[in-house]
Amino acid sequence: MSELDINDKVNEMLHKSEHNAAAAECFEKTFVRPEDEEREVIAPDGSIIKVNPIYDYFSGKKPTEEKPCGGVVEKFLNWARAESIWVLGFGTGCGSIEIPPLMTPRFDAFRFGIQMRPTPRQSNAFIISGYLSVKTLKRVIRSYEQMPSPKYILALGSCTINGGMYYDSYSTINRLDKYLPVDVYIAGCMPRPEALLAGFMKLKELIKAGKAEKANEYARNFDEYKANQKKIIKDWNMPDYNW
């Protein structure tokens, strides 16, 4: 088989797979930036490759519910999950200033198995720290959906609960739980690092009791969440599920 044949084969695989058919459906009515448009590029070896940036990098499939297996195994798994909470280092609002002191010797969140990770693919907890503008929400959704399940959201500060002092702002959301499933709310403006630690303890309790199943809830009520998200994110130029 020559190189050109292999290229044809690969192209066929890429563009006729089930994933892309599903993705194509959910992309019909979206606004796509010029750099994301489907196009043909010439590879270094001279062959022509079809590129469709958004379809190629992400799956168009909806998330699926993962039922807990139950019994002793599930208990053990939950214990293990509760002891290793890896937080995505993404400060969305003013509350992210409370996170750095959490990782200092004074508050020392490491002793509870909490640590910060730089990418969503390595983390399972997301702290939404304070007010969330629509522009940030778009990035938050992308990051949240890339995190491996089971995943948890801690909503920090009163802005995530009812809008806080930004309740009448045109650009910040009021209730986070309409757009993403929230496991633990930490009230305050701003909550101290101690409050954040208390929130983590609560999250651990929930995980150990098997009640932190919000990732499954997100998959179950996926259409509802998406409808709410699309209501405010007008320039939706990303896949419906960013995995």
Amino acid sitting at position 106: R
Q: Give the whole-angstrom CA distance, residue 103 versus residue 50.
A: 46
Say if strands 48-51 and 39-42 run parallel, antiparallel, or are unpaired.
antiparallel
Query: How would you write 120-135 as a 3-class SS string?
Result: HHHCCEEEEECCCEHH
Cβ proximity to another protein, 4 vs 227, nearer residue: 227
Minimum distance from residue 27 beta carbon to another protein (Å)? 16
Give the single-character DSSP code of 172.
Answer: B
Task: Indicate the SS3 state at residue 148.
Answer: coil
Minimum distance from residue 110 beta carbon to another protein (Å)? 35
Residue 231 in contact with another protein, rule: CB under 8 A:
yes
Among 117, 228, 242, 243, binds another protein (CB under 8 A): 228
Please list every residue from 141 through 180 that binds another protein, using CB under 8 A.
Answer: 161-163, 167-175, 178
Q: Using CB under 8 A as the criterion, what x/- string covers residues 23-42 for binding another protein?
A: --------x-----------
Sign of the Cα torsion 227, 233, 235, 237 reads: negative
Q: Give the whole-angstrom CA distance, residue 77 versus residue 61.
A: 27
Residue 233 in contact with another protein, rule: CB under 8 A:
yes
Residue 119 in contact with another protein, rule: CB under 8 A:
no
Among 26, 49, 103, 134, binds another protein (CB under 8 A): 134
Residue 235 in contact with another protein, rule: CB under 8 A:
yes
Instruction: At 153, list the tokens.
Output: 């959201």
The total number of residues shown for the chain amounts to 243
By CB under 8 A, which span of 63-71, 180-188, 200-208, 227-235 interacts with another protein?
Answer: 227-235
Interacting residues with another protein (CB under 8 A): 31, 134-135, 138, 161-163, 167-175, 178, 228, 231-235
